[in-house]
Amino acid sequence: MIEVVPTRSGDAGAQLRLRPPRALTARQFRALFAALAGAMWLVAGLGWLAGNVFAPAFALLHSAGVALALRWLWRSGERGEEIAIGPSAVEVRRGADVVFRAHPHWVRMNVGRDDGRVTLSSSGRSVEVGAFLGPDERSQLARCLKDFLAAPEGRNR
């Protein structure tokens, strides 16, 4: 998901927030876990009634595994990037870390022909942005970056 963050009045430049798309809300993730664990415990209960004494232990391990997998999946959706383009600097932040910083006049944007990867480069350093976005969102990101990099005083490409 690409979100254009409005700048404060009087500030030149733009800021983009990139986040991976999420199909489910937190409440829906909990409901999914409850449904999966409930089905597993139902089958484990039937297995126990049929004589399989290890079925509840397996259900407990399986439920813990599903919970860990869903938690990891939710946490991976929290990653994101911020791209701030101003008259004096272009910055790419991942979390609290600045992974790329350069003067906007020297920043080049490249889009891969085969895979559509969007990279920003300057002075021999480059960083890929929006790697977690889908192909359509990456092309939208490339258009936004092209417009924003060209905007400040018409200096940039």
Predicted local distance difference test score (pLDDT) of residue 152:
52
User: 122: which strand partners?
Assistant: 125
At 155, the pLDDT band (50, 70, 90 cuts) reads very low
Helix, strand, coil percentages, rounded to 5, for the chain: 45, 25, 30
Of 76, 93, 115, at which residue does a domain stop? 76
Range of the domain at 60: 26-76
Q: How far lies 124's CA from each of 18, 96, 100, 156, in Å?
A: 24, 23, 11, 18
pLDDT at 36 over 50: yes
CA distances from 118 to 19, 67, 83, 132 (A): 15, 34, 12, 11
Residue 138: how many other CB atoms lie within 10 Å: 22
Say which CATH number the domain at 99 has. Answer: 2.30.29
